[in-house]
Structure 1
Amino acid sequence: MAAMGQEDDDVDHYEVLCLPSGEEGAGLSLEQIEKAYRTQSRLRHPDKRPDDPNATADFQRLASSYNFLRDESLRRQFDARLRGRREAAARAAASGVKRRKAVSDLEERERAAATGQAVDAAEAARREDKRKAADVKRELEEFFAAKQSASSSTPPASAPGAPQDAPKTDKGKILKVSWEGGADYYNAAKLEEIFKQFGGVEDVVIKTRKSRSRGSAIVVMASKEAALSALQNHSVYNVFSVPLIVAPVQESGGVPTRSTHTPETRPSNLGGTGFNDLEASVFRKLQEAQKRKQNG
């Protein structure tokens, strides 16, 4: 078969036909592949490019990739190879982040030992709890200020047709998303584009931490089914050079660091979708921080 001669680890047959690769490419039907081939054939035929010395080779490559993808057995093997490459790249990225963190921790310990500034572990833990409690308090104040700002631009509750109570967002629709390797790597628009493949996205709230090496966000899906699909399809997030870690929001624990809403955040939703649940979560975490302080 002609396609067998073109089977090369460096060739992405989907890209040759100007089709999406990865999991999206694996889900394409034969009819979609044939349509793409016909379109590209008309555009890239050598007769259409008489001044291009590479036109014939390019057209032959197009035909070869098309014949390759038409073979179901070869296509399955090719999809498996692409999936293996993405998983290997994700593992390498994760390993690189862990390795850099280990080196950074080692250097920090060496500096502390060299300058005689080693801190008592119990005292360090108390200071950390105190800092986290202060961060949660500031976060709560920011939520109140944002909510008050949003409510000031809406009609009063007594106005005709004004909503009496904002509906609570089902926690089953809310996802906590985090990543390492740079807090600014993902913005709200990029996360919304990623999660739209599982269903509608109602809201994305970016939370910026003091540590710029780790980022996090809250993603509110349009339905529980969409959120469940996003949780189950972990392989989708491994295709990025900085992988995403996705978890249901009700399972997240600990006291969050101080967060600020970036320009990508939608201020119109602060008093509605996603806000009530986030506000309740901040209250709960503040109480937990106070209990730890009392018991410390």
Structure 2
Amino acid sequence: MASTGQHDGDDVDHYEVLCLPSGEEGAALSVEQIEKAYRTQSRLRHPDKRPDDPNATADFQGLASSYKFLRDESLRRQFDARLRGRREAAARAAATGVKRRKAVSDLEERERAFASGGGQYVDPDELARREDKRKAADIKRELDAFAARKNSFIPGSSASTSAHGDKKRGTPENGVKTDKGKVLKVSWEGGAEYYTAAKLEEIFKQFGKVEDILIKARKSRSKGSAIVVMASKEAAKTALKNHSVYNVFPVPLMVAPLEQSGGSPAFATPTPEPRVSDIDGTGFCDMEASVFRKLQEAQKRKQCG
């Protein structure tokens, strides 16, 4: 792992440190473009060029640190995935704000339309209660759909498939099981929260298309595990052959097939079937966040009322 010193925090944008564009544009930059930017900034920001600047040395060290970080291919992929996650979260938050404002506007518009039509006056509190009841029904429908989707991903169940369907073996609608030869079991030591679904997808997509990732929540904070569903057996075999790739990370990964040739579990210690509440698949994140936000909003309205 490249040493990043004081600039390895989550709040540092290493592209911006080198005065490069960030986001998707930054992720598309070549190594040569990054090296050119570093050489240019080194000449401009060298401490010898700024003898009166007390922060010149620290700034130059940060520049070198970010350059080394972006030169490390695996660290850069993880960093790009983290930046993409931040952008998506910001977009979802903005969309939620727009929907909330539209709901309030629609409610006010209905009140004005009712009043202008000479209808009977309805108490605003009653209107609010009706709106809460309607939203509660919407939330229940979403929770039911959410639970049904998660149940379909419990390994070994008759409806076990990937979030995107398995074009060769079936889809969630027809209940055909996912080929276990495409399924990998991944585990790691040193922190159950270290690897997210997005991080694992970035790592395994170099061996082929990743259909889905299911993260098993654990009570222990010192271990973590996940199920990775590749698009083909060949991709899964390639991932199993490249164990050296997983040792370059600060927290190494242990990768094994879901089942050995004899049919027994890949790990000596069997793990219980994951409950619906224990799974954090990439296909569930948006729905789960939306449902919980709505539940919190409904609870706040109930407390204020």
Determine if the TM-score, normalized by the shorter chain, exceeds 0.5.
no
Bigger helix share: 1
